[in-house]
Amino acid sequence: MSRLQRRLLCLTLLVLGCGSRAYPGKTAKLALQAQHAVTAASVRVLPGEAALSIRQNGNTIFVELDLSSPLRQLRIEIPEMCPVFIDVGRLKPGETVLHPLVDLLDFGPERAQEGYGQPFQIVVEPGCQKAARGRIEWKRLEGEAPAEWLIADRGFALSGRLPSMRAAHGDGVPWGIVPISPRTRGQLRLHATFRDDKGVVALERTLSVSAAARSTGIPNVSVGKRVYLGGKGWTVRARPEDSDAAVMDGDLAASITPDRAGRFVLGDAQDKELVLMVGALDTTPLDCGRTDCHPTISSGISKSAMTSTWKRLFVPGTAARDILTAHGGAAGDDLHCAEACHTVGEPGLEDGGYRFTASALRHLGVADRGWDTLPSALRRQAGVGCLACHGPSAIPEPTARWPIFRSDVCATCHDAPPTYGHSAAWRSTRMARSDRNERARTDASCVNCHTGWAAVSMASRPPAHVEPFGIGCATCHDVHPEGGATAGLLRALALPKLLQALPAATLGESTVCLSCHTPTEQRNQPPQATAASIWLGRGGLDPVSGGPLESVSPHDKVPGGCVGCHSGSGGRGGNHSFAVPSSACVGCHASPPRTRAVAERARVLWDRIAEAAQLAPRSNTEPVHASITLPGRSHGLDQNTPLGRAGWNVLLVLEDPAADRHNGLYADRLLQSAEAVLNGRKGKL
């Protein structure tokens, strides 16, 4: 059929109704293949009559065309792709023609570790004329305004300089591998809006540029990830045979980029060693659950919210999906923004993580197809699995396992204010400083409640030259509980003996706090950390009989227990400051409770008891528990006497600086009992 004939036929068909299926049975398929998963919700075919059906499989969109249609030319529009022009007349019946799809704009690779203080440049390449005629508007979503910021060429070129390491980390970094969080990686998050030559928004993209890749601070690191080193005089003492990696000097910290899998031994000027276990995430087996290794942990973690954190993003209506959408997850189609913290690996590095594997499988940016259709190799990396915290390669040497107890491991995701403010809130607490005192981090009677490592594993004591790191996330949270996941992944700890008679409902989420905030019943020791004792009206002694002196607890019905009032404030994660906002009291009290001057009353009583018991004075040099820093040798109290028991009661109150708020009635009763002894009263109180 000649061209003229076809045009005549077309005109005829226009009269009759263009698009009718004049020659059924003659079809061909177009296989439009993208380099990544197509995130488009729809495909527009112009004119529509030529297309019989459209379906998608992976990165490929199949368009079934009716060759009997008189239409010759076809334009296919897919959002964020360059339009496709097809000459239908060249297709043969029964044929499937592969046709590559081209991105409207190519923003280049993720820039994950450009270097602190280094210049960066983004040059956007248009994929077709349609793209070249438009312009790009840039908006900074997160990060300080960079120095030397320049936007040129209608937005197709952007450059600037990333912050220095000192600007990102402050003046000091800890010895060894420097932990790096989203907050300290010198990250700039940018939003690009592309408008075509008609001013219509044709594409929006969020991308980031970072000075450094995130680091947990543990010695298991990915090949190609630049590792920063706190300390002085680092050199490479041993490395894999074919490695050329060397230590580079820096302003605040040196750095090294391991270039091969294997064992790297580094040494500093003080002859302290650091062993890096280097590998790739997709070469590390996930057989931790073998019967001779960690079967119960593996079984428990399979039900953990951390494990399913990516899977749940596939399910509309779940909290995870809602949060994603609220954070700009592009109506749920583009999950790139969630990848860094919901999967394993660092986007932009060739580390064998999720983004790397997805890229290799051309499976980027997929949201809607469901968990089961993800390739196995991707599901292995999808979620906060073992390697997200423990890193790739082999199990580290026993002396190098302590960093897993630093909160920096969790901070690689949870230190990203304002989205994740957990770490920032935690740093404001006294728990973050609980081991600054040397005795607190070395004395066997202190370490269980003052160090993050001893609270979980006595075998993981860090070397003496390591800076203290407080009571961290892993003290209260157990990400892989052996008995299965708990709410909030809270660690299931045994109740202190003093509180074991209380119903579990009373304690709730507070259980995890109680083991360190309840005094032991060692009567030859002064009571320490008595907040739970006062709150729940337990632990006092009747000075006369020596029996328990108990009281009701006005606050034991507060939902959530301790964290019901110690709820923090601010955005997501702000609850980890555990501060009590004034609003916490308002639900029940018309105004915040007045201070009863309980502490002052208790101090006066203590002075009288110390004098009556003739306790020797002692220095108050250690900023530790009140009962230790008080004048007088509290150990000298004989609790077999009314005076000794009165002293015990006073110390219970003194040890809790918020005794009047936790349970003012009980504090009052304890002090009254001591006053009765000192005033010479007899009889049971």
Q: For residues 257-316, which are near another protein according to CB under 8 A?
A: 280, 282-291, 294, 297-299, 301-302, 306-308, 310-311
Copy the structure tokens of residue 526.
């002064």
Among 5, 235, 373, 595, binds another protein (CB under 8 A): 373
User: How many angstroms separate the CA atoms of 281 and 350, rounded?
Assistant: 10
Cis before residue 481, ω within 30 degrees of 0? Answer: no
Measured from the CB of residue 50, what is the shortest distance to another protein in angstroms? Answer: 9
User: How many angstroms separate the CA atoms of 608 and 599, rounded?
Assistant: 14
User: How many angstroms separate the CA atoms of 302 and 596, rounded?
Assistant: 50
User: How many angstroms separate the CA atoms of 484 and 250, rounded?
Assistant: 45
Q: Could you say whether residue 377 binds another protein (CB under 8 A)?
A: yes
Q: Could you say whether residue 127 binds another protein (CB under 8 A)?
A: no
Measured from the CB of residue 357, what is the shortest distance to another protein in angstroms? Answer: 7
Among 5, 16, 22, 90, binds another protein (CB under 8 A): 90
Measured from the CB of residue 131, what is the shortest distance to another protein in angstroms? Answer: 16
> Which of these, 646, 678, 637, 636, lies nearest to 549 by C-alpha position?
646
Q: Which stretch binds another protein (CB under 8 A): 69-77, 399-407, 529-537, 675-683?
A: 69-77
Q: Could you say whether residue 407 binds another protein (CB under 8 A)?
A: no
Measured from the CB of residue 294, what is the shortest distance to another protein in angstroms? Answer: 7
Scan residues 416-475 and list those touching another protein (CB under 8 A).
none
Among 231, 352, 543, 561, binds another protein (CB under 8 A): 352
Residue 177 or 387 having the CB closest to another protein: 387
Among 100, 418, 560, 592, binds another protein (CB under 8 A): 100
Residue 49 or 80 having the CB closest to another protein: 49
Structural element, H or E, at residue 654: helix 642-655
Scan residues 21-50 and list those touching another protein (CB under 8 A).
29, 31, 38, 40-49
How far is Cα of residue 486 from the mean position of the Cα atoms in its chain?
18
Q: Which residue has the tokens 């993050």?
A: 452
**681: Cβ contacts below 8 Å, ≥ 6 apart:** none
Measured from the CB of residue 46, what is the shortest distance to another protein in angstroms? Answer: 4
Q: Could you say whether residue 514 binds another protein (CB under 8 A)?
A: no
Q: Could you say whether residue 81 binds another protein (CB under 8 A)?
A: no
Residue 95 or 638 having the CB closest to another protein: 95
Among 61, 122, 324, 536, binds another protein (CB under 8 A): 61
> Which of these, 148, 120, 118, 154, lies nearest to 136 by C-alpha position?
154
Copy the structure tokens of residue 133.
């005629």
Among 379, 439, 461, 477, binds another protein (CB under 8 A): 379
Q: Could you say whether residue 364 binds another protein (CB under 8 A)?
A: no
Measured from the CB of residue 436, what is the shortest distance to another protein in angstroms? Answer: 34
Q: Could you say whether residue 603 binds another protein (CB under 8 A)?
A: no
Among 21, 75, 232, 497, binds another protein (CB under 8 A): 75
Question: With contact defined as beta carbons under 8 Å apart, do 462 and 447 qualify?
Answer: no
Among 5, 8, 22, 96, binds another protein (CB under 8 A): 96
Q: Name the CA dihedral angle for 339, 340, 344, 346, rounded to a multiple of 10 degrees.
A: 130
420: which DSSP letter? B
Cis before residue 47, ω within 30 degrees of 0? Answer: yes
Residue 99 or 436 having the CB closest to another protein: 99
Residue 70 or 329 having the CB closest to another protein: 70
Q: Could you say whether residue 383 binds another protein (CB under 8 A)?
A: yes
Copy the structure tokens of residue 181.
């969080």
Question: With contact defined as beta carbons under 8 Å apart, do 593 and 600 qualify?
Answer: no
Residue 43 or 177 having the CB closest to another protein: 43
Measured from the CB of residue 252, what is the shortest distance to another protein in angstroms? Answer: 34
Measured from the CB of residue 351, what is the shortest distance to another protein in angstroms? Answer: 12
Give the largest Cα separation in the chain, rounded. Answer: 122
Q: Could you say whether residue 216 binds another protein (CB under 8 A)?
A: no
User: How many angstroms separate the CA atoms of 230 and 158, rounded?
Assistant: 32
Scan residues 483-512 and list those touching another protein (CB under 8 A).
none
Q: Name the CA dihedral angle for 574, 218, 430, 477, rounded to a multiple of 10 degrees.
A: 60
Angle between helices 598-612 and 659-678 (to 10 degrees): 30
Backbone angles phi, psi at 672, to 5 degrees: -60, -40
Residue 24 or 617 having the CB closest to another protein: 24
State the burial class of residue 444 (Cβ atoms within 10 Å of its Cβ: 0-12, 13-18, 19+): exposed
